[in-house]
């Protein structure tokens, strides 16, 4: 039986796509001492990636970062200033993640959470962001006010056994 522990971290970074990879890897590294399974790590990385990407492209409208992969050219689009803040709390075997932005917010959260719904079809993302967060985490809450920003709260119990066990 693991002794009940509490561990907390906060991360704040610029809302540019270059940081999407950094954000999910940082959260994954934060939980690594609990010896999570590969599935749990993949779940957390995907969920964090979805939430952070939403903040960057929808919250702050930063579609491109600095220098896209392989392109080596300066972004032709202006980078809007803004920060994404990740707050993680590990309590026992429970991971609590809060991903907050001060971007433009979501008009209709319920609608935004519908699978395949997107306000930016031209970006050709899949509209599956919230669906993935819901599927990969145990609990998901979205709090948003237009003009003020969005806060996504997710929970996951680690070591609870993976739902994918035996599937492959």
Partner 1 sequence: MQEQKTGTEDWEGFQVVNNCLMVRLPEEVDHHKAGIFSERADWYIVKKKVDHVIFDFQDTRFMDSSGVGVIMGRYKKISCLGGRVYIVNADRQVRRILRLSGMDRLVEVVEAHPGDGKGGESPSAENMSSIMGKPVICRDVSLKTAQKAAQK
What's the CA gap between 129 and 39, in Å, rounded? Answer: 18
| 68 counts as binding partner 1 under rule CB under 8 A | yes
Of residues 88 through 147, those in contact with partner 1 by CB under 8 A are 123-129, 131-132, 135
Single out the residue of 5, 7, 9, 21 in contact with partner 1 (rule: CB under 8 A).
Answer: 21
In the complex with partner 1, the residue whose CB is nearer, 3 or 165, is 165
What's the CA gap between 37 and 120, in Å, rounded? Answer: 34
E runs forming strands in the chain: 6-14, 83-91, 94-101, 139-145, 149-157
In the complex with partner 1, the residue whose CB is nearer, 7 or 21, is 21
| 168 counts as binding partner 1 under rule CB under 8 A | yes
What's the CA gap between 69 and 151, in Å, rounded? Answer: 29
In the complex with partner 1, the residue whose CB is nearer, 127 or 159, is 127
Single out the residue of 1, 3, 4, 69 in contact with partner 1 (rule: CB under 8 A).
Answer: 69
The CA–CA distances, whole Å, from 38 to 58, 61, 102 equal 29, 32, 32
What's the CA gap between 73 and 4, in Å, rounded? Answer: 50
Which residue ranges make up the site for partner 1 (CB under 8 A)? Answer: 17-18, 20-21, 24, 38, 42, 45-46, 49-50, 53, 56-57, 63-65, 68-71, 76, 123-129, 131-132, 135, 164, 166-168
């Amino acid at each position: 039986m693991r002794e009940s522990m509490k561990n907390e971290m906060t991360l704040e970074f610029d809302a540019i796509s270059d940081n999407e990879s950094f954000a999910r890897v940082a959260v994954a590294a934060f939980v690594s001492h609990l010896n999570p399974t590969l599935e749990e790590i993949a779940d957390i990385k995907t969920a964090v990636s979805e939430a952070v990407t939403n903040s960057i492209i929808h919250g702050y409208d930063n579609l491109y970062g600095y220098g896209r992969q392989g392109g080596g050219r300066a972004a032709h689009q202006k980078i809007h200033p803004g920060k994404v803040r990740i707050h993680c709390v590990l309590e026992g075997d429970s991971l609590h993640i809060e991903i907050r932005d001060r971007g433009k917010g979501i008009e209709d959260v319920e609608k935004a959470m519908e699978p395949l719904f997107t306000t930016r079809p031209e970006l050709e993302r899949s509209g599956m962001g919230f669906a993935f967060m819901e599927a990969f985490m145990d609990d998901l809450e979205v709090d948003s006010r237009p003009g003020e920003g969005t806060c996504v709260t997710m929970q996951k119990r680690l070591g609870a056994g993976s739902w994918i066990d035996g599937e492959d």
